[in-house]
Structure 1
């Protein structure tokens, strides 16, 4: 069964919703009437039997080159777009 709640209801009753998810329910959270998020068990997202692959530093070496002007100031039109935020 799917339980639909507003974001306000979810904030007020999060511990209860987590218990419902642990019991097998699906919880969908809506914002202004539109479904926006789903609460799910972490164990359903991660296969606990599969070990995490070790990270390999440098695997993407050469895939991106930092341009020489990377640290230059941004153009005025971009700075104006962020004024007042």
Structure 2
């Protein structure tokens, strides 16, 4: 069983003075907690790789009705306004 990782507390002044070191630590999986006056401010984490869809990848797969911006029927509008 792995032991839980211990966060490395770093004051905001230390983090500012040695930012590239702190980025490297976070990118290698070390848990860094940036603190100020003993209170946690931030916990940098690796960004990882983006595996999202490219813009336009849904072209031709969605249909937007011509009346998309038409006024809502009274029954539906009343339900929204009533908070239901």
What is the TM-score with the length of structure 1 in the denominator? 0.51
Residue number among 28, 50, 62 corresponding to 2:52 in the alignment? 50
SS at match of 1:5: strand
* Offset, 1:4: 0.8
Greater Rg over alpha carbons, structure: 2
What is the TM-score with the length of structure 2 in the denominator? 0.52
* Offset, 1:30: 0.5
SS at match of 2:43: strand
Unaligned runs of 5+ in 1: 55-60, 62-85
- Aligned-residue Cα RMSD (Å) equals 2.1
1:30 match = 35
Unaligned runs of 5+ in 2: 57-68, 70-84
